[in-house]
């Protein structure tokens, strides 16, 4: 078999056989296929797509490219969630402690930022001392003792996805339905969870820009998971605006803690409670409505926040930062972005907001870039809000003042202000079961 022929076949719209897909992923994993051929096939898949059968084969090949985790030593039902990626999406930091505080085990493996989107591992590393790498024994022990652990993917876990993820990030091939489905479900199936809730984002800040495409991706991933014996649900949630008001790593951890204190932004709180409710429901705790009420209670009585503190302490992080987020190191400089028009914010390009945060140092342009954890954006106005000319719509934070003008320009260009009040969009579009 030759990689050249596989690329040509997909380029010309052909359907790859199971053997060809296994050959490709085998070569990605053992390093025998060079990056330029991997990237070329990703681009061909981007343009030509894949059938459901090809996508399933790709998912299973990614799953089998490394070690499969065995969680049988974890007592109790295990539930996980995974987001397709968004801007200001700090839901894992809120949802996982809620669910764990209600007795469902959460053994969570998370990713880093990808493209314009943030990643849970980067956010957790904003907490001083927090170890995102644990041995399998440490990970399992913590899940048994505390009920929750969140780590990055180890080198042995779905290594083909690690390679593909990094190459897709720099070759404009992230937003491809089969590549996203295989990436997410390949990892989810290599882990050993009973229940999985997917948060499929839709809109300008997500990789799927329309509700129809997001619904198609959700259906595909739910079916792949169910065929592999998992209990699955996908929520389709709005990413036409950032979730919450904070974008950037430590700013997002602070907002997640506020949400666990019951003082979070409404949109973030609602999405988190719904995700937690469906995780608990899949895990057998009752109907989604009953489980959403349980999740609310876990915030009100402080048990979810306590669970996050226990988790942070168990992973070597400074739990004082969670008890008092004012102690997080702040960026040296801030800058107010002011509206040049008056009216209502009708729409925002959420991807551009994510890129503005990246430009302030909150994300990476290359895999080697270091992150500035304190950099980012706090939104003072969101879609639907009235603004006056000269009114502050966002505050930028950075440790280098020279970064402000370009980020401010990007943010203003991405904010549409008009005379009329925009139509309200749903926060949760659909539940795919």
Question: 171 or 303: whose CB is closer to ligand URA?
Answer: 171
Question: 84 or 281: whose CB is closer to ligand URA?
Answer: 84
Closest distance of CB 228 from ligand URA, Å = 17
Backbone φ and ψ for 144, nearest 5 degrees, come out as -70, -40
Query: Long-range pairs for 161-164 at CB < 8 Å and ≥24 separation?
Result: 161/62, 161/65, 161/186, 161/187, 163/28, 163/29, 163/38, 164/28, 164/38, 164/42, 164/62
Q: Which of 64, 80, 161, 267 is flagged as catalytic?
A: 161
- Judge whether 214 counts as a catalytic residue: no
Closest distance of CB 175 from ligand URA, Å = 8
- Residues binding ligand URA (CB under 6 A): 84-85, 111, 114, 174, 179-180, 183-184
Closest distance of CB 374 from ligand URA, Å = 25
Closest distance of CB 182 from ligand URA, Å = 8
Question: 170 or 313: whose CB is closer to ligand URA?
Answer: 170
- Judge whether 80 counts as a catalytic residue: no
Backbone φ and ψ for 18, nearest 5 degrees, come out as -55, -40
Closest distance of CB 83 from ligand URA, Å = 7
Q: Which of 82, 108, 123, 241 is flagged as catalytic?
A: 82
Confirm if 403 and 359 have CB atoms less than 8 A apart.
yes
- Judge whether 116 counts as a catalytic residue: no
Q: Which of 149, 176, 183, 339 is flagged as catalytic?
A: 183
**CA nearest to 61, candidates 208, 151, 153, 164:** 164
Burial of 2 (0-12, 13-18, 19+ CB in 10 A): exposed
Closest distance of CB 379 from ligand URA, Å = 23
Q: How far apart are the first and last CA of the chain?
A: 39
Confirm if 165 and 96 have CB atoms less than 8 A apart.
no
Question: 167 or 336: whose CB is closer to ligand URA?
Answer: 167
Closest distance of CB 399 from ligand URA, Å = 28
Question: 1 or 172: whose CB is closer to ligand URA?
Answer: 172
The two structure tokens encoding residue 186 = 């390949």
Question: 127 or 180: whose CB is closer to ligand URA?
Answer: 180
Question: 175 or 270: whose CB is closer to ligand URA?
Answer: 175
Q: Which of 187, 285, 307, 364 is flagged as catalytic?
A: 187
Closest distance of CB 195 from ligand URA, Å = 18
- Judge whether 108 counts as a catalytic residue: no
- Judge whether 183 counts as a catalytic residue: yes
Q: Which of 168, 201, 364, 410 is flagged as catalytic?
A: 168
Minimal CB distance to ligand URA: which residue?
Answer: 183
Question: 180 or 378: whose CB is closer to ligand URA?
Answer: 180
Active site residues: 82, 161, 168, 183, 187
């Amino acid at each position: 078999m030759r990689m050249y022929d596989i690329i040509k076949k997909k380029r010309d719209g052909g359907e790859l056989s199971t053997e060809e897909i296994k050959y490709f992923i085998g070569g990605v994993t053992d390093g025998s296929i060079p990056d330029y051929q991997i990237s070329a096939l990703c681009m061909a898949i981007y343009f030509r797509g894949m059938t459901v059968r090809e996508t399933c084969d790709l998912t299973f090949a990614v799953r089998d490219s490394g070690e499969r985790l065995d969680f049988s030593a974890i007592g109790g039902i295990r539930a996980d969630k995974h987001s397709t990626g968004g801007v200001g999406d700090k839901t894992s930091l809120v949802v996982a402690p809620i669910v764990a505080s209600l007795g469902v085990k959460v053994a969570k493996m998370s990713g880093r930022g990808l493209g314009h989107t943030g990643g849970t591992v980067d956010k957790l590393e904003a907490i001083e001392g927090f170890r995102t790498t644990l041995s399998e024994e440490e990970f399992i022990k913590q899940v048994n003792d505390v009920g929750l652990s969140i780590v990055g993917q180890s080198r042995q876990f779905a290594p083909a996805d690690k390679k593909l993820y990094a190459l897709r990030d720099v070759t404009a091939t992230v937003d491809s339905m089969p590549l996203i489905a295989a990436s997410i479900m390949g990892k989810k199936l290599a882990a050993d969870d009973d229940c999985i809730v997917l948060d499929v984002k839709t809109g300008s800040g997500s990789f799927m820009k329309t509700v129809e495409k997001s619904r198609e991706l959700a259906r595909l991933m739910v079916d792949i998971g169910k065929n592999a014996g998992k209990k699955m649900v996908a929520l389709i949630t709005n990413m036409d605006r950032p979730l919450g008001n904070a974008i950037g790593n430590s700013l997002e951890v602070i907002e997640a803690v506020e949400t666990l204190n019951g003082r979070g932004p409404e949109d973030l709180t609602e999405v988190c409670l719904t995700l937690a409710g469906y995780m608990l429901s899949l895990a057998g705790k009752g109907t989604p409505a009953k489980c959403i009420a349980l999740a609310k209670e876990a915030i009100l009585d402080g048990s979810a926040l306590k669970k996050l503190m226990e988790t942070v302490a168990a992973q070597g992080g400074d739990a004082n930062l969670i008890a008092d987020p004012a102690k997080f190191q702040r960026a040296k400089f801030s800058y107010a972005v002011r509206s040049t028009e008056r009216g209502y914010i009708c729409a925002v390009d959420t991807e551009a907001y994510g890129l503005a945060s990246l430009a302030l140092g909150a994300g990476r342009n290359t895999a080697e870039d270091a992150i500035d954890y304190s950099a980012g954006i706090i939104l003072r106005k969101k879609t639907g809000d009235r603004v006056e000319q000269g009114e502050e719509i966002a505050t930028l934070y950075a440790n280098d003042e020279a970064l402000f003008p370009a980020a401010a320009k990007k943010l203003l260009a991405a904010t549409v202000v008009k005379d009329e009040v925009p139509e309200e969009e749903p926060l949760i579009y659909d539940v795919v079961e």
